[in-house]
Amino acid sequence: MELLNKYNLVINEIETKESVNRIVKESGKYNDVETLKFLFSIIDLTSLNVSDTRSEIADMTEKVNWFTKTFPNLPNVAAICVYPALVPVVKKTLTTDEVEIASVAAGFPASQTYFDIKTLECKRAVIEGATEVDTVISVGEFFEKNYDYVFREIAAQKSSIDGAYLKLIIESGAMRNMKEIRVASLLAMEAGADFIKTSTGKITPAATPEAAYIMCNCIKEFYKLTGKKIGFKPAGGISTPDDAIVYYAIVKEILGADWLNKKLFRIGASRLANNLLTEISKISTDNDKPILYF
């Protein structure tokens, strides 16, 4: 694809692994209360279970509504992320303006459905109240190197959502090598994605520091070429404060302070929220009892 000709697609895997190991090893220096609070504030609080019910999602949303009163010294989460059919429940229940409504769409998680159905599902999610849409790259088409098709599909999804954020999942764990992670990331950004995201969380491995390192370097390069800042979202398997701090360190050291805000950095998680609350409480008050709020 001609759009990719301006990029050097070769990756030095040894150098990448060495850099990632260094960042991971040194990431503990960021383990402080303010960083933990920040990490909580960029969580996309996610429930994507086959058994999700309207009442369960309404209950989760009500907890988000009451969070500021329950924990007045902490910021709220960045977004609530659910399946498309449950977006109306969040829209009806959510009363705080500071939290976005995110919907997975476009045949999530496999992306194995029709082009027009994917676009329609994205559009419908926004009509129902989503302000952000998380979709998945067509991995099979990507593996066939049908890059023009993948580009057109992503561009159509972005065009269909009327200014909402498009967070494009490259499913990094399915990629067969580091080069494919790089190509998928660049292709997604060139096609109009507002965020690139590691994983659906439905396959193993999900998010990895290596994928994050490659993707953040792609974002940095894209910004230098275009002047456009693209967001980054690791998701899948990030459940402990130490896990989250690793991704914070990668973003901070590669992209810098300009990306340390919820408009450009999110973490998709479900269990992480409670674990961060417990750790913040432990550091602040010497209370090691788990906080099971969400």
* Closest listed residue to residue 225, CA positions, set 1, 3, 2: 3
Residues facing residue 133 across a β-bridge = 103, 166
- Catalytic residue (one of 44, 118, 123, 134): 134
Secondary structure percentages of the chain, helix, strand, coil, to 5: 55, 10, 35
- Catalytic residue (one of 233, 243, 252, 262): 233
**Strand 79-82 relative to strand 231-233, pairing:** unpaired
194 is catalytic: no
Sorted by sequence, the CB contacts under 8 Å of residue 72 that are 6+ apart come out as none
Enclosing H/E stretch for 223: helix 209-226
* Closest listed residue to residue 231, CA positions, set 268, 258, 196, 187: 196
Asked if 228 contacts 198 with a C-beta cutoff of 8 angstroms, the reply is no
29 is catalytic: no
233 is catalytic: yes
Sorted by sequence, the CB contacts under 8 Å of residue 283 that are 6+ apart come out as 32, 33, 36
Helix residue spans in 42-146 (DSSP H): 54-70, 87-93, 115-127, 139-143
Cα distances from 192 to residues 62, 110, 125, 214, in angstroms, run: 33, 21, 18, 19
Tokens 């829209």 sit on residue: 91
- Catalytic residue (one of 158, 197, 252, 262): 197
Helices (H) and strands (E) in the chain, counts: 11, 8
Catalytic positions are: 134, 197, 233
